[in-house]
Amino acid sequence: MLNLLGEFIGELRVAGIPVSMSEHIDAARAVEVIDLSSRSLLKVTLAATLVKDGDHLAAFNTAFDVFFAVRSWESADELLGDEVRAGSDREGAPGTGAAGPGRARGGGTTSLSAQELSERLFRALMSGEMEALRAGASEAVSRYAGMEAGRPVGGTYYLYRTLRSLDIEALEQRLVEGTVRANADELAERIARDDARARIAQLKAEIEREIRERLVEDRGSQALAKSVRKPLPEDLDVMHANREEMAQLERALRPLSRKLAVRLARKRRRRRRGPVDLRHTVRRSLSTGGVPLDLRFKPPRPAKPEIFVIADVSGSVASFARFTLHLVHAISSQFSKVRSFVFVDGLDEVTRLFDGVEDPADAVARINAEADVIAFDGHSDYGRALTTFHDLYAKDLTKRSTVLILGDARNNYHQAHAELLADLRYRAKAVYWLNPEPTSYWNSGDSIVNLYAPYCDRVIECRTLRQLEAFVGELA
């Protein structure tokens, strides 16, 4: 067990979850005091001792399913070694616990017709019986996934294939119709739909688990762990996120910006103490007989920077720009002023969209519709954008302004106009360039970062939320 635990923790660390030595020891101790025949108890135990952040639970669950598959629970005895065998009364338990899936596997070759299978799944979903659902999922995988031994895949393809053959949408529709009475009102219908969706999600999860377990049998835990490993939300590459990951990022952004704001506000308040507040100090000294034991200070008034954000919102980097705008505006109380500009080949100020809006996400969503950013052909033109910005807004820059430029500097072979950036640099306090591309891609093809770089205080690779948060935190 200890070996297995060690390997499992190794996998968690590779996936990005920080597990310290003392947490490892805690887990080992905790495993000694629990009833190992229960898989779910082991899962909770390991989660409680190893994972200390709610956002990491998803990655933990994936790794756990791979390392401690339900199926291999049958052979738990040999897996766990002496510890379990010592408690003889537990001997029988692993067998019974795993009987459900075991049976299901045995029945994998039954001669159910496609219709019968679908019917069986439908009934399992309606009644909400996990056991029946599991058996159905197993059956569906045997029938439809067409799994081939030894292929180094993570199983998404098999999942897709199984779901398509099952015609999952039709199943969901049937569920809705099965629960809604005729002439039900809108609310009831909506609830039925949500309910159906939740059940279908359950079925999907069951199928995915089944596929994973078969893959584990085929290729072993460690090999599979590598294929199914998913980066933590804060480590996702913003530019290459798919739709689901994008939704994850959106969800991660709000708490992230809230935390950042709290942290910065605290830092600001505690950063330096102002001069001694005599009045307050004397008042305090009254309780110690006039001896000023407890000095009081005036709160400090550090200068807040002014921020100008100039963001490329053309297709390739749009999502990155949206995240940055969201983050900067979420902590706008940390700056004396934030002005935002977006461009493709024309440039438009979007600060007004953020005025009086409670949630920056709403404003960010409106940028696409309301900002006038396309002047010519809709391909990014950094030179043109800089020219417009320089003409209209350069006069507003002062020695307290920081300019942030977001973009990949892929200029579609237009003119660079780097000399304008030099002038902006001269007027402002600092110019930073955030590039969402990996450093190795810079200056390849039509990327002209090196033309602008000499006039920036720093050019920073910024691909993940973690990097973005670190940078914005430094800025304030």
Partner 1 sequence: MSALDPREELAQRLGLTSVPPVRFDSPAAVQKLLAENDYLSDEAIASVIYLADRLAKPVLVEGPAGTGKTALARAVAESIGARLIRLQCYEGLDESKALYEWNYRKQLLRIQAGRPEGARSEEWHDLEDDIFAEEFMLARPLLEAISASDPVVLLIDEVDRVELETEALMLEILSEYQVSIPELGTVRARQIPMVFLTSNNTRELSEALKRRCLYLYVGYPTVERERDIILSRVPGISSALAEQIARVVRSLRSLDLKKAPSVSETLDWARTLVVLGRDEIGDEDVTATLHILLKYQSDIARASKELLARSRPVA
Which stretches of the chain bind partner 1, using CB under 8 A? 2, 18, 20, 22-23, 26, 29-30, 32-35, 40-41, 44-45, 47-49, 51-54, 57, 83, 185-187, 190-191, 194-195, 198, 255, 258-259, 262-263, 266, 270, 288-289, 358-359
**Smallest distance from partner 1 to CB 187, Å:** 5
Contact 320, 295 (CB under 8 A): no
**Smallest distance from partner 1 to CB 50, Å:** 8
Q: How far apart are CA 117 and CA 125, in angstroms?
A: 12
H/E segment holding residue 212: helix 186-219
Q: How far apart are CA 428 and CA 430, in angstroms?
A: 6
Name which of 270 and 395 has its Cβ closer to partner 1.
Answer: 270
**Smallest distance from partner 1 to CB 237, Å:** 22
Closest CA to 217 of 61, 82, 109, 73: 73
**Smallest distance from partner 1 to CB 396, Å:** 32
Pairing of strands 347-349, 458-461: unpaired
Name which of 99 and 247 has its Cβ closer to partner 1.
Answer: 247
**Smallest distance from partner 1 to CB 109, Å:** 34
Q: How far apart are CA 135 and CA 120, in angstroms?
A: 10
Q: How far apart are CA 89 and CA 81, in angstroms?
A: 15
Place of tokens 């020695």: 399
Name which of 109 and 288 has its Cβ closer to partner 1.
Answer: 288
Place of tokens 């045997």: 142
**Smallest distance from partner 1 to CB 463, Å:** 21
Name which of 261 and 347 has its Cβ closer to partner 1.
Answer: 261
**Smallest distance from partner 1 to CB 45, Å:** 6
Closest CA to 11 of 61, 74, 81: 61
Name which of 428 and 472 has its Cβ closer to partner 1.
Answer: 472
What single-letter amino acid sits at 404? L
Helix, strand or coil for residue 311?
A: strand
Q: How far apart are CA 311 and CA 432, in angstroms?
A: 12
Name which of 281 and 387 has its Cβ closer to partner 1.
Answer: 281
Pairing of strands 458-461, 430-435: parallel
Name which of 85 and 190 has its Cβ closer to partner 1.
Answer: 190
Tokens of 90: 């537990």
